[in-house]
Amino acid sequence: MKQILLADDHELMLEGVRAVLEIEPEWRVCGLARDGREAVELAGRLLPDVAILDLVMPVLSGFEAARHIRHASPRTEVLILTGSDSEELSAEACAAGAYGYVLKTDGAAALLAGVRAATEGRPYFSPGVKQPLRAVVGGAPPSSPARPGPSSGEHVRGQPRLTSREREIARLLVEGKTNWCVGNILGISVKTVETHRAHIMEKLGCQSIVELVRYAVRNRMVSP
């Protein structure tokens, strides 16, 4: 029996998703959370096989909750359930440790497919999620227990050394930020961002942002 945790701040959505999931005789909804923090607490206590998280929730967002759940219950696969097909948000889902991103507009069939994939250790992103990040996730390996990310500048076996600023910029790029946005967030010029970006790509052997996202997901570069 696969145990599933649901988190959404709308009671009607919780009950509707629960009814859809429990059509499957081998699935059981073991917990309902109304905000991100409650989702993390329940995941740590119940250790579900799958956690389905709404993206926008009180206290902690779906992404924030996903990061904490990956530590509280490493065996739990996380699906983000959202109405947005934003490419940037799908990238952030990858960075947060989620291996599923299901659009509410795709209906029950997509939700069931996503949960089924998660219980089998396979990634699943809705067909409506924009390229190229859907392809990136499709190439991601099955998830493994989350480990704390390396501290800034720390060298991990098999991974090139990045400076603390390079790691900071890499994280923002993986989240889908433009060079201008990165510069604005960090208080540096676009030219400086471009220079750091070139160094990051060279060190990691990446030719594009798509490859950088894939590298970050596979190597757990982005710390929860």
The per-residue DSSP string of the chain comes to -EEEEEE-S-HHHHHHHHHHHTTSTTEEEEEEESSHHHHHHHHHHH--SEEEEESS-SSS-HHHHHHHHHHH-TT-EEEEEES---HHHHHHHHHHT-SEEEEGGGHHHHHHHHHHHHHTT--EE-TTSPTTHHHHHHTSPPP----PPPPTT---TTS----HHHHHHHHHHHTT--HHHHHHHHT--HHHHHHHHHHHHHHHT-SSHHHHHHHHHHHT-S--
* pLDDT at residue 61, rounded to an integer: 85
pLDDT over 50 (residue 132):
no
* pLDDT exceeds cutoff 80 at 206: yes
pLDDT tens for 156-191 read 444 567 888 888 888 888 776 788 888 888 889 989
Distance of alpha carbon 28 from alpha carbon 46, whole angstroms: 12
Q: 97 with 143: CB under 8 angstroms?
A: yes
Terminal Cα-to-Cα distance of the chain (whole angstroms): 29
63-77 pLDDT, tens digit each:
889 989 988 998 999
pLDDT of residue 163: 87
Q: From residue 197, how far is each of 95, 155, 156, 177, 200 by CA, in Å?
A: 18, 18, 20, 12, 5
* Spatial distance between the Cα atoms of 22 and 182, rounded to a whole number of angstroms: 43
Task: Give yes or no for residue 139 having a pLDDT over 70.
Answer: no
In angstroms, the Cα distances linking 8 to 11, 55, 60, 135 are: 7, 8, 11, 27
Q: Which has the higher per-residue pLDDT, 101 or 218? A: 101
| pTM as predicted | 0.61
The pLDDT score that the predictor gives to residue 160 is: 65
Backbone angles phi, psi at 51, to 5 degrees: -120, 125
pLDDT band of 217, cuts 50, 70, 90:
low
pLDDT grade for 136, boundaries at 50, 70 and 90: very low
Most confident of 42-56, 140-154, 173-187: 42-56
The whole-chain average pLDDT of the chain stands at 80
CATH numbers and ranges of domains, the chain:
2-138 (3.40.50.2300), 164-219 (1.10.10.10)
Tell me which of 58-67, 124-133, 200-209 is least confident. Answer: 124-133
Residue 83 confidence (pLDDT): 81
Report how far residue 217's alpha carbon sits from residue 100's, in angstroms, rounded to the nearest whole number: 13
